[in-house]
Structure 1
Amino acid sequence: MTVDSTAATGSGLDLSELVADRALLGRTSTAERVAAILRERVAQGLFRPGVRLSEERISGALGVSRNTLREAFRLLTHERLLVHRLNRGTFVRVLEVADLVDIYRVRRLVECAALRGLGQPPFPLDGLRVALREGEESAARGDWAGCATANIHFHQAVAGLAQSVRTDDLMRGVLAELRLAFHVMDDPQRFYEPYLTRNRELLGALEGGDALGAERMLGFYLEDSRRQLIEAYPEQYPAR
């Protein structure tokens, strides 16, 4: 796949938000904590696919050693968010269509199963409500990148209904990886606005105690999203 040369350079990135993230590290800057911050920033779209990550700038912004940052890079490379290229550095991965197919396969297995496994209502839906409100507020501001982030938070909360720490960890990586593909949509409002409505409908079904209906809705939802992304993807990143 090819990447625009401007996008492939990280020199123009505004890392001021990373400076604010220093407070999240506390006194001990472990690689796991640094990786968690970078994973969230990838999920938010701060680092676009194909961008080279500058060790000097990022370690300086976070106030951590390069050794700690390199270990965080290794962790995120293992999670398929980054890729190391010999003598060139570390880059944010550019997904291929096969990656999207696999990501949506995992999403269907995990998210639909989380709804299927719900017991008797009322269900613990506060996380979904918070994420939906976040998306609606972002949409009202015309902040469609923020809406994309809120959508990821919504589906993380859906998976969280399984009440499994391991599932939560899995989906954090899967959804952060998916965020690498969202930028291909030329008209983000046209893409995200209907799914914001569908998130509201999904939450409504769960609030009404209809977990089976919500699972059915989610299945159609995921298939529509998968199809739209795959149709748009080759236009942005044609195979080499």
Structure 2
Amino acid sequence: MIEDDDTSASGRVREKLRLQILRGELPPGTRLMDRALAPEHGVSRNSVREALRLLVNDGLVASTVNAGASVRVLTPADVSDIYAARRILEVGGVRASSQASDATLRRLDEAAQASIEDRRLQQWRDAGTASLAFHSALVALAGSARLDRFFAGMAAQLRLAFAVMPDEAAFQAQWVDRDRSIADLLLAGRRESAEIELLGYLADSEAAVVDAVRAAQRNHP
């Protein structure tokens, strides 16, 4: 049954598509056609169009007159901008961690441990999702719902950047122990050491992702 075309319907489609992008289920360049998505989500085509418009504003979808809508392909400049924001948000969370709730710290610990389990099972896409959850938990240490919502969209953009990695296993494997190390430092109250570790992590990750995005551009101009 098709629902009425209303804000709640478009919002649900937006969130479902954002989550699929975050999980790596919709890689960059994937076509998003309203005539296919409407019955899939049980909404009108107008609701899908509105959801796609919102996702364009979120930086997750590109829309052109002739080509229609597709999952966005990031540029090196996009990646650098994302990492500039990550430094502010994640380091801010680390610095505020003394005021974080036990539940937020537990969320951080569980996300770091989930990456280790995914690595053991060689479930690399899941490991990437767990790592994004870990870094979302770092931001959550600041205790701001607004920052959490902002970072949720940026985490989905990060997944689009990760999608161009030629060897997903090698890329994801290198961050698992580093996430665990940052978590352990924070859980021990060693905020300054955790900040140093995090800044090194972000510098290395940005360099790897920018290089991969540039290589992908050269191979697929």
| TM-score using structure 1 length | 0.83
Corresponding residue for residue 142 of structure 1: 122
Residue aligned with 2:175, SS: helix
Residue aligned with 1:119, SS: helix
Corresponding residue for residue 20 of structure 1: none
* 1:173-202 C-alpha deviation (Å, 9 max, x unpaired): 111111101022212221111210001111
Q: CA deviation at 1:52?
A: 0.9
Q: Give the structure with the higher percent helix.
A: 2
Q: Is the 8 A contact 2:14 2:52 kept in 1?
A: yes
Unaligned runs of 5+ residues in structure 2 are 1-6
Which residue identity does 1:108 align to in structure 2? R
Number of equivalences: 213
Q: Is the 8 A contact 1:29 1:64 kept in 2?
A: no
- Measured in 1, the distance between the counterparts of 2:60 and 2:182 equals 29
- Measured in 2, the distance between the counterparts of 1:48 and 1:121 equals 34
Does 1:200 find its partner at 2:183? no
Q: CA deviation at 1:33?
A: 2.1
User: Aligned runs of 1:149-160 on 2, under 5 Å?
Assistant: 149-160=129-140
Residue aligned with 2:159, SS: helix
Residue aligned with 1:133, SS: helix
Instruction: Select between 134-143 and 38-47 the one with higher mean Cα deviation.
Output: 134-143
- Measured in 2, the distance between the counterparts of 1:188 and 1:210 equals 31
Corresponding residue for residue 113 of structure 2: 133
Instruction: Select between 187-196 and 151-160 the one with higher mean Cα deviation.
Output: 187-196
Does 1:224 find its partner at 2:187? no
Q: Is the 8 A contact 1:152 1:175 kept in 2?
A: yes
Corresponding residue for residue 111 of structure 1: 90
RMSD: 1.8
* 1:49-74 C-alpha deviation (Å, 9 max, x unpaired): 11111212222221111111111111
Q: Is the 8 A contact 1:122 1:209 kept in 2?
A: no
| TM-score using structure 2 length | 0.90
Residue aligned with 1:153, SS: helix
- Measured in 1, the distance between the counterparts of 2:100 and 2:27 equals 40
Which residue identity does 1:195 align to in structure 2? W
Unaligned runs of 5+ residues in structure 1 are 1-27
Residue aligned with 2:19, SS: helix
Q: CA deviation at 1:29?
A: 4.7
Determine which of 6, 12, 15 is the counterpart of 1:33. Answer: 12
Determine which of 166, 169, 172 is the counterpart of 2:149. Answer: 169
Q: CA deviation at 1:171?
A: 0.3
Corresponding residue for residue 42 of structure 1: 21
Residue aligned with 1:30, SS: helix
- CA distance 1:235–1:212, change in 2 (3 Å): same
- Measured in 1, the distance between the counterparts of 2:192 and 2:10 equals 41
- CA distance 1:121–1:104, change in 2 (3 Å): closer
Percent of counterpart pairs with the same letter? 36
Q: CA deviation at 1:121?
A: 7.9
- Measured in 2, the distance between the counterparts of 1:88 and 1:121 equals 46
* 1:62-111 C-alpha deviation (Å, 9 max, x unpaired): 11111111111111100110011103211111100000000000000110
- CA distance 1:214–1:57, change in 2 (3 Å): same
Which residue identity does 2:52 align to in structure 1? F
